[in-house]
Structure 1
Amino acid sequence: MSSELSKAGLKQLGKRLRAVVTPEDLDLLDHYRRRFDPSLVDMNARLVGEIDSTDVDALVSGRIKRTKSIVRKLVREPTMDLSRMADIAGLRVIVRTTDDQNALVGLIEAQVEKSRVMDRRNDRTEYRAIHVTGTHNDLPIEIQLRSIPQQLWANESESLGEQVKEGGGTDEERAYLDALSAAIFDFEESVPGASGQIGHRLASARQPFEYRMPWIERKFNAAIDAIDAHEVRSELLIFDGRTSDIIKAISFGASERSDAVAEFEHLSRTLDPVRFDVLILNSTSHAALCVTHPRFYL
């Protein structure tokens, strides 16, 4: 095979992955996905440096999209070809408030070429955030800019399962997320009379405002206070979906990124993809990852 797949080759690879996943196609996918890694790490460091020059507190992390997430997205969106998938390399920037979002969106937009800003904060239901997409080093990249309350909603959605995150789930789960989104909207928009209370059984059990958002806020403050370096490190996680536990976490320094990627690819191939999530995350600290990916640490 050639060292780089053409756009036509990537389109054909995506079609094959929708039908059946073979070891040969996994090799091709790993090779293609690896091309994004230097761009992802570089953008992480760039954002950290640029945001550091502002008065806004923010935490930044990045991730390479997992194999099963790529395949699920190809199946879910049958008209998409692999070369147009914008979030193989993705970053999250978490800030305190919508005012902080507004202060940073232009700065973030300036870091990517062919930028496009999607403000998803105007609906009282479903997901709320600002997405900046574009290219970096001629490869697609996506940056999600979320406030702490918006991060709460995203984490609640993810923690209920992949099917909920992708728009499925039970009627009860969807109703809970809609009610939570509406409450967060009212809170962030300072709607008069907003109580912050959600009259839903899952809200009583999960306590999003009573427990989960304060936890994220405490971790955010601790991570901001602990910032002492801008070196982008890697953390490899194995998360057991059956027990909701991290069963292994491996840290890698900035110079060990290639080792981290190789181990990520190896574990992704050898562990049961139904039970286990294998993630490779990059950030300047473990404390930041607790905020940007709280599903795995909460």
Structure 2
Amino acid sequence: MAHDVPSTSQVKKAGSRIRKFLRGDDPDPGHFYDAVETMERWRAAHYTPLVSANNGLRSRARTIGVEAEVSQRLKRRQTILDKLGREPNLDLSRMQDIGGCRAVVPTIDDLRRLEDRIRNGRLPVIRYSDYVQSPRESGYRGVHVVVSYEERAVEVQLRTKVMHNWALATEYYSAFVGENLKQDGDHPVQLFLRTASDIMAMQEYGEPVPDDMVQLHSERRLEASKHLRESNR
């Protein structure tokens, strides 16, 4: 209900209190629990707009004849807490990926067509990131479009099946080694995944893979396998 939704100033204050508790600047657990309760109400306020965004994404894909696997998720409580602790200047009221939906499509051409439909539609676009044209250092590829649904920011992720399989593999290896490999870094498994992403991108665009890239992939796979074996002990 509307009266259960905290105000922007309340959400901003809650995020600040959570960060202070995580830093040890405000050890009062009562302040922390009150702030988390406000955060949870703010998180819940994204559910209905997220469902609308999910249905809208499915409709847009059907309209242009793109076969899309569409899913949605609300960011988990612990994930929000981790992000607040990791990003010291992040304002909780301006966090744009609490609600997110994703479309996985067969080809890059399909991705671009669906992206165009979203960006040139009636919904206000708050932020746009093209990690296909400019992949992240980790090797992540995809397009993120943050749109406004019912006064809530919802992040729409677009990936091809190849990009999605790479992301799933990264999540699997993250759990295996006990580190978040989705973040940019230089862990040997991250370096292997980055090279794998480069090769997968070339293959998606129909480009030949140079011999030196194949060699680098083999070397990094060997180094990554050592860490994977150690993690399994």
TM-score normalised by L of structure 2: 0.78
- 1:143 paired residue number: 156
Q: Which has the higher helix share?
A: 2
Q: Distance in 2 between matches of 1:174 and 1:43?
A: 32
Give the SS at the match of 1:142.
strand
* Aligned amino acid, residue 9 of structure 1: Q
Please state how far the C-alpha of 1:193 moved relative to its aligned partner.
4.1
Note closer, same or farther for the CA distance 1:130–1:111 as it changes in structure 2 (3 Å cut).
farther
Q: 1:62 aligns with which of 72, 77, 80?
A: 72
Please state how far the C-alpha of 1:17 moved relative to its aligned partner.
1.7
Q: 1:131 aligns with which of 144, 148, 167?
A: 144
Q: Which runs of 5+ in 1 are unaligned?
A: 206-298
Aligned identity (percent) is 30
Aligned residues of 1:187 and 1:194 also touching (Cα < 8 A): no
Please state how far the C-alpha of 1:66 moved relative to its aligned partner.
0.4
- 2:191 paired residue number: 175
Aligned residues of 1:183 and 1:194 also touching (Cα < 8 A): no
What count of residue pairs does the alignment treat as equivalent? 204
The 5 Å alignment of 1:267-286 reads: none
Q: Distance in 2 between matches of 1:176 and 1:193?
A: 16
* Aligned amino acid, residue 181 of structure 2: V
Question: Residue deviations 1:92-150, cap 9 Å, x none?
Answer: 11001111111111212226323433211124652111111121101111000001111
RMSD over aligned CA atoms reads 2.5
Q: Which has the higher strand share?
A: 1
Aligned residues of 2:11 and 2:38 also touching (Cα < 8 A): no
Q: Judge which range, 117-126 or 29-38, deviates more.
A: 117-126
Aligned residues of 1:114 and 1:135 also touching (Cα < 8 A): yes
Please state how far the C-alpha of 1:203 moved relative to its aligned partner.
9.5
The structure that has the greater radius of gyration is: 2
Aligned residues of 1:89 and 1:140 also touching (Cα < 8 A): yes
Q: Does 1:30 align with 2:43?
A: no
Question: Residue deviations 1:179-210, cap 9 Å, x none?
Answer: 111111211222234589531336996xxxxx
Aligned residues of 2:10 and 2:38 also touching (Cα < 8 A): no
- 2:221 paired residue number: 201
Note closer, same or farther for the CA distance 1:203–1:47 as it changes in structure 2 (3 Å cut).
farther
Aligned residues of 2:53 and 2:154 also touching (Cα < 8 A): no
Q: Distance in 1 between matches of 2:223 and 2:110?
A: 27
Aligned residues of 2:73 and 2:100 also touching (Cα < 8 A): yes
The 5 Å alignment of 1:244-259 reads: none
* Aligned amino acid, residue 64 of structure 1: L
Note closer, same or farther for the CA distance 1:89–1:193 as it changes in structure 2 (3 Å cut).
closer
Q: Distance in 2 between matches of 1:73 and 1:202?
A: 32
Note closer, same or farther for the CA distance 1:112–1:203 as it changes in structure 2 (3 Å cut).
farther
Please state how far the C-alpha of 1:90 moved relative to its aligned partner.
0.3
Q: Which runs of 5+ in 2 are unaligned?
A: 23-28, 226-233
Please state how far the C-alpha of 1:16 moved relative to its aligned partner.
1.7
- 1:76 paired residue number: 86
Note closer, same or farther for the CA distance 1:111–1:181 as it changes in structure 2 (3 Å cut).
farther
* Aligned amino acid, residue 96 of structure 1: P
Note closer, same or farther for the CA distance 1:41–1:111 as it changes in structure 2 (3 Å cut).
farther
Give the SS at the match of 1:167.
coil
* Aligned amino acid, residue 195 of structure 2: A
